[in-house]
Amino acid sequence: MSHEITNGVLVLADGSVFEGELIGARGIVATGEVVFNTALSGYQEIITDPSYAGQIITFTYPHIGNYGVNVEDAESRSVFARGVVVRDLARRHSNYRAIGDLGSFLTDRGIAGIAGIDTRRLTRLLRSSGAIPGAFGAASEAELLAVARAEPGTDGVDLVSTVTTDAPYFVGDGPRRIVAYDFGIKTTILRHLSGLGTVEVVPAGTSAADVLERRPDGVFLSNGPGDPAVLEPIVDEIRSLIGQVPIFGICLGHQILGRALGAQTVKLPFGHHGGNHPVKDLVTDRIEITSQNHNFAVDPASFTGLGRTVRMTHVNLNDGVCEGLEVVGERCFSVQHHPEAGPGPHDSTYLFDRFSDLIDGRSAGPVDLQEH
């Protein structure tokens, strides 16, 4: 890992300036919507999560890179985040699983980063002002400010098309046949789903007719980046699947399902990004500590007058955001948080068992967490 220091600045669209040292790919100017993640570890999984497409990730934990990087912890084939912001990048990594350091990992993938940033000040600003476009690199403050103000952010932008697979592929084996829509699917999700049966991952634009021709036992709607309101062609296809086959959605998949049912989605001020969000399962009254990564959410106030009975099944105890829904009388449910974690706690992994039960025709009701 190079110890060469190249000074740089992070400039936000509101004119705020943060001085630091450039890391990773240094010959580019990184621009995107700046958000913060509160996880204490799992930086490689976070950076490789396709849901961060269009965004610059700020890590609130001060020391990043301590245990290096490896092949197994990558959540996707590439890095779709626009950049990485940290307080202190570890100069040495130490872990028996490591095959390299984080700085070189970013460099090899053409991802810019900046270290030495006062991430506490930056996070407080984002919490009060909301996620905001920013830019950093070896350019003047004036140039970076202009680039930041020209950045569209994630509102009204289709980012799913930049991360989805180009062609279908299979993962796992087993008698159950599951079709998984790739809106930015994570490797850990596929690991869980492949334990349920044979999974065929299909591009985001796959039609409902093409899915039903595959005669699936269940359909999974994955996580992904960006604004669900611009994905109406996809929403229309998912609408045609409701009532035809068991459906389970996560994160963006949850938002797409909500919109397919006729509900509305809203953008949160700074989103939920981290591994410590308390969520209450309104079916069991249990509290789960969950992994989260999203900027948009389904508005439960829009559940009335949909022609179907839709109820909220989970709620975020920090701010009351809808964390889950189900369609009463249909084999259809979704959650906003990430039951697969990667990184994060595993309190919600029972939801994959609930999907399995739904596929097998058993009740999709409460699952005893003590059994999992």
Q: What is the pLDDT of residues 22-71, one digit of tens each?
A: 999 998 999 999 999 999 999 999 999 999 999 999 999 999 999 999 99
Q: Are 125 and 170 contained in the same domain? A: no
Last residue of a domain, one of 87, 116, 150: 150
Q: Catalytic site residues?
A: 251, 338, 340
Give the bridge partners for 299, in sequence order.
Answer: 264
Range of the domain at 119: 7-150
Q: Which residues are CB-contacts of 67 (< 8 A; sequence separation ≥ 6)?
A: 41, 93, 94, 95, 97, 98
* Other CB atoms within 10 Å distance of the CB of residue 233: 11
What is the predicted pLDDT for the residue at 73?
97
Instruction: Give the C-alpha separation, 355 to 328, whole Å.
Output: 15
Q: Are 291 and 188 contained in the same domain? A: yes
Residue 238 is part of a domain; what is its CATH number? 3.40.50.880
Q: Which residues are CB-contacts of 201 (< 8 A; sequence separation ≥ 6)?
A: 165, 168, 169, 170, 171, 180, 182, 185, 190
Last residue of a domain, one of 89, 124, 150: 150
Q: Please report, for residues 42, 99, 233, 289, the alpha-carbon distance to residue 73 in angstroms, rounded to integers and kept in the order given.
A: 8, 11, 33, 21
Helix H or strand E segment including 288: strand 287-299
Instruction: Give the C-alpha separation, 320 to 303, whole Å.
Output: 15
What is the predicted pLDDT for the residue at 270?
94
Q: Are 249 and 118 contained in the same domain? A: no
What is the predicted pLDDT for the residue at 371?
41
What is the predicted pLDDT for the residue at 5?
76
Last residue of a domain, one of 150, 168, 203: 150
Q: Are 178 and 296 contained in the same domain? A: yes
Instruction: Give the C-alpha separation, 279 to 264, whole Å.
Output: 21
In a domain, 106, yes or no: yes
Number of domains in the chain: 2
Contact 168, 214 (CB under 8 A): no
Q: Which residue intervals of the chain are DSSP H helices?
A: 43-47, 102-108, 119-129, 141-150, 187-194, 208-213, 232-241, 252-260, 350-359
| Beta pairing, strands 7-12 & 132-137 | antiparallel
In a domain, 231, yes or no: yes
Handedness of CA 216, 165, 23, 272 (dihedral sign): negative
In a domain, 349, yes or no: yes
What is the predicted pLDDT for the residue at 370?
39
Looking up tokens 């789903």 gives 193
What is the predicted pLDDT for the residue at 138?
84
Is there a cis peptide before residue 203, judged by omega within 30 degrees of 0? no
The pTM score is 0.94
In a domain, 175, yes or no: yes
Q: Are 226 and 261 contained in the same domain? A: yes
Residue 142 is part of a domain; what is its CATH number? 3.50.30.20
DSSP for residue 244: T
Instruction: Burial-class residue 120 by CB neighbours within 10 Å (0-12, 13-18, 19+).
Output: exposed
Q: Which residue intervals of 1-153 are DSSP H helices?
A: 43-47, 102-108, 119-129, 141-150
Handedness of CA 318, 321, 327, 328 (dihedral sign): positive
Instruction: Give the C-alpha separation, 291 to 142, whole Å.
Output: 37
What is the predicted pLDDT for the residue at 369?
36
DSSP for residue 307: S
Q: Are 34 and 100 contained in the same domain? A: yes
Q: Are 204 and 89 contained in the same domain? A: no
Per-residue pLDDT of the chain (372 residues; tens, 9 = 90+): 445 679 999 999 999 999 999 999 998 999 999 999 999 999 999 999 999 999 999 999 999 999 999 999 999 999 999 999 999 999 999 999 999 999 999 999 999 999 999 999 999 999 999 999 999 998 999 999 999 999 999 999 999 999 999 999 999 999 999 999 999 999 999 999 999 999 999 999 999 999 999 999 999 999 999 999 999 999 999 999 999 999 999 999 999 999 999 999 999 999 999 999 999 999 999 999 999 999 999 999 999 999 999 999 999 999 999 999 999 999 999 999 999 999 999 999 999 999 999 999 975 444 443 343
